[in-house]
Structure 1
Amino acid sequence: MKQDRPSFFGTKIIAFLGGRDTLFMLTALVLTGLVILVFTEVSFIFGPLIIFFETVVLPVVVSLILYYLLRPLVHLLERGGLSRGWGILLLFLGGTGLITLLIILVFPFLQEQLLNFVAEFPLLFEELLTGADAFLGGSIIGGFYTDSGFDIDRLMETLPENVGDTLQNMVSGVVSGLTGFITTVTAFVVSIVIVPFVLFYLLKDGEKLPKHLIHLLPPRFREDFKEVLHEADHQLSGYIQGQIIVAFFIGVMVTIGFLIIGLDYAFLLGALAMVTSVIPYIGPAIAFTPAVILALVVSPFMLLKVIIVWTIVQLAEGNLISPQVMGKRLEIHPVTVIFVLLTAGALFGFVGIVLGVPIYALIRVVVTHLFKLFKRRYNKYEPVPENQYEKGEA
């Protein structure tokens, strides 16, 4: 009888393919792939949208970073009895004064150290090669090294007239690149100028924005969306505030440590450590490399002192500063972080390296919550106590 005939989704073929749910998921994936393929083939249509997106993203990202850095200070001023508007204005004035002091006092000093380092680099490089030649010639492999016919003088002759020429070419290339970069930045001046305005309204009304967004959704999705927004805000604020504070302490400790052991360019190396420390795991290695080169030129004992300073800094950061400042907010495995940094760096360059981890954390929040909703909908992958969801909604 027709009434007893199973529906299409109840046939043995569908059961063999994994059931209705699996078929729906595969269909969704295929349709998603087709949409991506179509967008790829007609990507030229979206050129104006891409330009608009690139123009808007930069000020929004900068404003969000500053928002999460300044929001705790706004709350602190409010608890002190100052209205939110006046507190924001006070922070803006203080930030402007701080930036002015940095430009007048700190940046010229760091610039002088950088120029001195560039000027001395050829001599440092030559001393490093000479020291390596003497060390290898007097080591247990000295005979093999001598028989190899390696001649440091011949190497220096085969190099350009001096390493300074090569370094000068590198600097010229960097300057040329910076010129192009400045030209590009000029195109975004209009959007950059709006950062203070966006930041002001984020600090003033940013905490009201989630409520307005939630009310745009159907009632059945509001609680889930509210939970996702809360977790995303928690992840972003914890990461941005934590990374900046940790980077500041690392820069200060590295500078003090290198000053104590008498290493040249301590302030420049400390500033480099502070800037690169915003990149998890990879940043410290970048900052450690020039310090090692400078120490090798001086003496093996200086290298030992640099290693001791860096070890103390890393132990203090890993066991005292980061646990207190950041805690376990992200809970991302180090291997995952490295893969995220490599992938984001290959796709988006330096911006990807800096923003890759927080963006991954946000994506993980959304995907994790969607998977929870999927389990709640189908309730197949783990046992659920009776009336659990009803209790959670109460």
Structure 2
Amino acid sequence: MRIRNGLKSILQANLLVRSLLVLLLVGLVIWVYSKISFVFHPLNVLFKTLALPVILTGIAYYLLNPIVDFLERKRIKRVYSILGLYLIIAGLLVILFVNVIPFVAGQINGLIENIPRYSEQVQEKLNEELKNGYLNQINAWTGTDPIKLTQGWSGKITDFLQNTVSGLGSFINVLKDIVLALATLPFILFYLLRDGKKLPEHIVNFAPIKMRSHSLRIMSQMNNQISSYIRGQIIVSFCIGALLYVGYLIIGLKYSLTLALIAACTSIVPYLGPAIAITPALIVSMVTSPVMLVKMIVVWTVVQLVEGKFISPQIMGKSLHIHPITIIFVILTAGNLFGFVGIVLAVPGYAVLKVIATNAFSWFRDHSGWYTPNPEAAGVLAADGADVEVVPVQPEDTTKS
């Protein structure tokens, strides 16, 4: 018995040493690559070129693949289903560009042109409110100058809005990349929808034979995580935009469609998106009138309650099993590391890494022997020097059913 326990300890120690050596080698490889990063410059350019088309194609694939699978179950060939979907999408895009895009472009141009004037009006209204007697009494009690404080904040807001407008040049460059990605998207998407089912099997063929079934299971879990998040988040964002547009139309808020579209796009980012989307709506409603500001806040609160209590639980559910605090930290970290793309891909990327880490830990738990119960050590030692009675565990009688 002691010999067997000794062998187990040696094997566990060897596994720990091997794990540490693997981590050391990985760190050494990363360090070497960091010193010769110029060698990988062509690969970096290739990745930047293909990243956006691949991301957009992946999103379109997860949205359209369930429809193609459904039509295939109805005995319609995948090629015909894909071509039919392309024709429907092309018709919808024509209607969109003819009727919706010019109207939205006019609202966006008007909003951008009025941003400096809106910021000045907000500052003037705040200054008028700060000159009343109540705030003068607060000034005397606290020893602060609200007018200077408000002017400072108004100046910061104005600078932020002007920087946003001046940053349209870089946005145009990003828009150019998006247009090029959209031009190549239909071709990549066609072959991905047609042969996407066979892709995991082709990838798994590069793995050792003993690991192929486990690799397929991991890829299936990753696919479920990504697909549920992308489909759910886009549907939730569309619902938020539609509800806000209806609410803004009811209260008569200017630029209602543009503000609703901004809210729908930023809602793709969980938790932080709505906080960003409410800023332009606050500025427009504050400039309009105090009553409009109250109405806008009421509409926004109602939409957020409906989304949080009814829409998201029904559509998203608990598919990702990620704590909200973890999501916020992941988004902030990915934004600092990779910018806007990191913010958008933070949650699905974390979900994929979580699947990989969970399966890696499960493999380590099953093969290390560190987490298996030890029947021979049934007694528990107390503090040093204390008398402890060790009661051996009787082996289970396997002859009984």
- Which TM class, normalised by the smaller chain length? 0.7 to 0.9
Q: 2:311 is matched with which residue?
A: 321
Letter paired with 1:368: T
Letter paired with 2:260: G
| Percent identity of paired positions between Structure 1 and Structure 2 | 42
Letter paired with 2:290: P
Q: 1:254 is matched with which residue?
A: 244
Q: 1:304 is matched with which residue?
A: 294
- SS of 2:319's equivalent in the other structure is coil
Q: 1:39 is matched with which residue?
A: 33
- SS of 1:327's equivalent in the other structure is coil
Letter paired with 1:24: R
Which runs of 5 or more structure 1 residues have no equivalent in the other structure? 1-5, 386-394
Residue 132 in 1 paired to residue 117 in 2?
A: no
Query: Any conservation in 2 of the 1:137–1:143 contact (CA below 8 Å)?
Result: no
In structure 1, which of residues 182, 193, 213 is the aligned counterpart of residue 203 of structure 2? 213
Q: 2:188 is matched with which residue?
A: 198
Q: 1:50 is matched with which residue?
A: 44
Q: 1:380 to 1:89 in 2, by over 3 A?
A: same
Q: Offset of 1:86 from its aligned partner?
A: 0.7
Letter paired with 2:256: A
Q: 1:275-323, CA deviations, whole angstroms, 9 ceiling, x for partnerless residues?
A: 1111111111111111122222233332222222111111111121111
In structure 2, which of residues 38, 57, 79 is the aligned counterpart of residue 63 of structure 1? 57
Q: 1:77 is matched with which residue?
A: 71
Q: 1:347 is matched with which residue?
A: 337
Q: 1:222-259, CA deviations, whole angstroms, 9 ceiling, x for partnerless residues?
A: 22101101100100110110111000000000111111
| Partners of 1:279 and 1:384 in 2: CA distance | 47
In structure 2, which of residues 242, 254, 272 is the aligned counterpart of residue 282 of structure 1? 272
Q: How many residues align?
A: 364
Q: 1:169-198, CA deviations, whole angstroms, 9 ceiling, x for partnerless residues?
A: 753x33432454466x39x94x76432222
Letter paired with 1:22: L
Map 1:72-221 onto structure 2 (within 5 A).
Answer: 72-138=66-132, 140-145=134-139, 171=165, 173-181=166-174, 185=177, 189=180, 193-221=183-211
- SS of 2:239's equivalent in the other structure is helix
| Partners of 1:291 and 1:170 in 2: CA distance | 16
Letter paired with 1:203: L
Which runs of 5 or more structure 2 residues have no equivalent in the other structure? 376-401
TM-score when normalising by structure 2: 0.82
Letter paired with 1:75: D
Letter paired with 1:266: S
Q: Offset of 1:382 from its aligned partner?
A: 5.3
| Partners of 1:359 and 1:229 in 2: CA distance | 14
| Partners of 1:168 and 1:281 in 2: CA distance | 26
Query: Any conservation in 2 of the 1:58–1:192 contact (CA below 8 Å)?
Result: no
In structure 1, which of residues 244, 256, 281 is the aligned counterpart of residue 234 of structure 2? 244
Letter paired with 2:229: Y
Letter paired with 2:44: I
Q: Offset of 1:365 from its aligned partner?
A: 0.5
| Partners of 1:139 and 1:378 in 2: CA distance | 74
Query: Any conservation in 2 of the 1:340–1:356 contact (CA below 8 Å)?
Result: yes
Query: Any conservation in 2 of the 1:136–1:145 contact (CA below 8 Å)?
Result: no
Q: 1:311 to 1:39 in 2, by over 3 A?
A: same
Query: Any conservation in 1 of the 2:205–2:212 contact (CA below 8 Å)?
Result: yes
| Partners of 1:365 and 1:262 in 2: CA distance | 47
Q: 2:397 is matched with which residue?
A: none
Q: 1:149 to 1:380 in 2, by over 3 A?
A: closer
| Partners of 1:95 and 1:180 in 2: CA distance | 26
Q: 1:288 to 1:81 in 2, by over 3 A?
A: same
Q: 2:322 is matched with which residue?
A: 332
TM-score when normalising by structure 1: 0.83
Moved more, 320-329 or 233-242: 320-329
Q: Offset of 1:348 from its aligned partner?
A: 1.1
- SS of 1:140's equivalent in the other structure is helix
| Partners of 1:125 and 1:192 in 2: CA distance | 36
